Amino acid sequence: MGANPLYCNQIASDGVSDIKFSAVTRFGDNTIFANSFGVDGAATRTIVGNTIVSNVWDFVSRPIIPVGNVSWYETNAQAVSVGDVLASFLNNFGRAQTSNSPTTFSSGLYVPLGISSTATTNNAVMATGDAFLTFLRVGGPPQSSSSPTSFTNGVAANSLSVGSLLPASGSVDISIQAGARMGGQTLYCNYLYPDGASDLTVRTNFRMGPSILYCNNIIQDGASTRTITGNTNVSDLWNFGIRPSVSGTTVALISDLPIDPSQKTVSFTVNTSSGSWVSFPSGFSDKPTGITITGRTNSGYPVIGSFDGETASGFTLTAQREDRNGSTVVSYAWDFKITATGPK
């Protein structure tokens, strides 16, 4: 044909052989219609230049689509299905993502070790299920949640800092299944309750600090002796079921006293003469209820004493010596033993 064009409406193959163009074929501005494109032998089918696809393409296998050098995209060029792309709002390359509805992780969350959720050049491939954890960054700044977050399968952490612990719902108790260590911190609570019928036990010495311990019963543990050491101020009445003892000595009760507990007795000795004033070494609150005076005998004869003008502080002594010749006033100093009882 030389340099001249060939005009025809159809080009058909001769027999069963393919129609082949041995050089680059240009179609100008016109459209090429074909039901299928095949690869010639082991060659790779290549379409160069910008290509516009105006209709749906169905792929038997996932295609490879280069995305260029965009810094915040994954450098892996493999295309993903629509189902896989549903996780794209959980972006692990620095852009904050939002969700207009609650997100539920029915199978839990998992990130393979060694994959940084903040790296922008990591080419490792994660399954769609693994990528759901990318919003919980393991290598970036602290994360926060503006609404309550429920972990249906529990939270495992070596260290957990919280402002408050609340029950999951309603009146359900917060249970700690194993021992809880407070370290050097203080435990503040309004109530301590035993679990079931068990006793509430403090294994070591228990210090109340400046606070008050309120209890209705203090019972010794087993055969141990209940001991209160240090100075103890008892401001209220104590009732004892049995007579108490102090340092092994039985304590006397009011009923054991020889006189009324409102009374007291003083005993003393004076050396004085008849008509002298005798003062009590410890006064009473009012006149004494009884005064007993015993004088020392004089040459085998008794010396009789009596009182007069008694007050809360003392009395006047009258004394005389009795013998076969009668009585003689004791005008000289003589020994007298005095016992007085009266109100305290």
Give residue-wise pLDDT tens across range 143-165: 666 677 777 777 777 777 777 78
Do the beta carbons of residue 99 and residue 87 sit within 8 Å? Answer: no
Task: Kindly report each contact of residues 310-314 with a partner whose C-beta sits within 8 Å and lies 24 or more positions away, as own/partner.
Answer: 311/287, 312/280, 312/283, 312/284, 312/285, 312/286, 312/287, 312/288, 312/342, 313/279, 313/280, 313/283, 313/284, 314/277, 314/278, 314/279, 314/280
Name the range with the highest mean pLDDT among 221-230, 249-258, 310-319. Answer: 310-319
The 10s digit of each residue's pLDDT in 30-57 is: 778 878 878 877 778 788 878 887 887 7
Looking at per-residue confidence, does 297 or 29 come out higher? 297
User: Which contacts (CB < 8 Å, 24+ apart) does range 326-334 have?
Assistant: 329/274, 330/273, 330/274, 330/295, 330/298, 330/303, 331/273, 331/274, 332/273, 333/271, 333/272, 333/273, 334/271, 334/272, 334/273, 334/295, 334/296, 334/298, 334/303
The model's pLDDT over 274-297, given as tens digits with 9 standing for 90+, comes to 999 999 999 999 999 999 999 999
Domain made up of 263-343: CATH architecture: Sandwich (2.60)
Residue 328 CB coordination number (10 Å): 14
The answer to whether residue 1 scores a pLDDT higher than 60 is: yes
Ranges of each domain in the chain: 62-141, 263-343
pLDDT band at 327 (very low <50, low <70, confident <90, very high): very high
pLDDT value, residue 193: 82
Closest CA to 81 of 128, 28, 35, 141: 128
According to the model, what pLDDT value does residue 119 have?
46
pTM value is 0.37
Whether the CB-CB separation of 73 and 67 falls below 8 Å is answered with yes
- In the predicted model, is pLDDT for residue 65 greater than 90? no
> What is the pLDDT, as a whole number, of residue 22?
77
Q: What is the mean pLDDT of the chain?
A: 77
Beta bridge partners of 249: 246
Rounded percentage of the chain residues whose pLDDT exceeds 90: 23
pLDDT level of residue 142 (50, 70, 90 thresholds): low
Give pLDDT tens digits for 91-119. 444 445 556 666 665 665 554 444 444 44
Distance CA 254, CA 212 (A): 31
CB atoms within 10 A of CB 293: 20
Q: How far is CA 175 from CA 166, 180, 332, in A?
A: 11, 11, 92
The one-letter amino acid at 137: R
275's tokens: 């008509």
Q: What percent of the chain has pLDDT over 70?
A: 75
Q: What is the pLDDT of residue 288?
A: 96
The dihedrals phi and psi of 130, each to the nearest 5 degrees, come to: -70, -35
Asked if residues 104 and 124 have their Cβ atoms less than 8 Å apart, the reply is no
